[in-house]
Amino acid sequence: MATITFKGAEIHTNGDLPAQGQKAPDFTLTSGELRDVTLADFAGKKKVLNIVPSLDTGVCQKSAREFNQRASAHPDAVVLNVSADLPFAQQRFCAAEGLDQVQSLSMMRSKDFAKDYGVLITDGPMAGLTARAVVVLDENDTVKYTQLVPEIGQEPDYEAALKAL
């Protein structure tokens, strides 16, 4: 269990992020086309998992925009925005913002991703959503970098995450 804060108040996650050097846990998330997507769908690509509570919040939107802008410099990588939002809401946001360098994936069918990656918030007003985190995987799905953002209202360290690519 990890401790983070929401507006300065302590809240907790169900576990810890995967360790660097470890093989990333597989996942099944839902695409905008309502198709199940797994880690294998991105085989051979480096991956940035931009894990956010909801694309309906300003900081989550800002991180999606920032990773979208910076992703074009990494053609061998894919940026995956993972949230509890419905795929329809994710698609609406990305279309309205012109985000074409990231792919949004939803936990609408299962919270297993959040549990397996140790980011499921277990208490407080955000219980059931994910903590803000970034996990970078190499082309073989080995964890190269992780960041659990200590305060939900803060942005991740974009430079460190992209440097890990």
Residues facing residue 99 across a β-bridge: none
The model's pTM: 0.93
Determine which one of 60, 64, 94, 129 is catalytic: 60
- Per the structure, the complete domain to which residue 145 belongs is given by 3-163
Residue 113 maps to which CATH number?
3.40.30.10
Query: Could you report the per-residue pLDDT of 79-96, keeping only the tens digit for each?
Result: 999 999 999 988 888 888
Cα–Cα dist 7/17, whole Å: 22
Query: Could you report the per-residue pLDDT of 113-159, keeping only the tens digit for each?
Result: 999 999 999 999 999 999 999 999 999 999 999 999 999 999 999 99
Specify whether 94 is catalytic.
no
pLDDT score for 141 = 97
Cα–Cα dist 56/3, whole Å: 23
Residues in the chain: 165
- Read off the pLDDT of each residue in 36-54 and give the average, rounded to a whole number: 95
Count the domains in the chain. 1
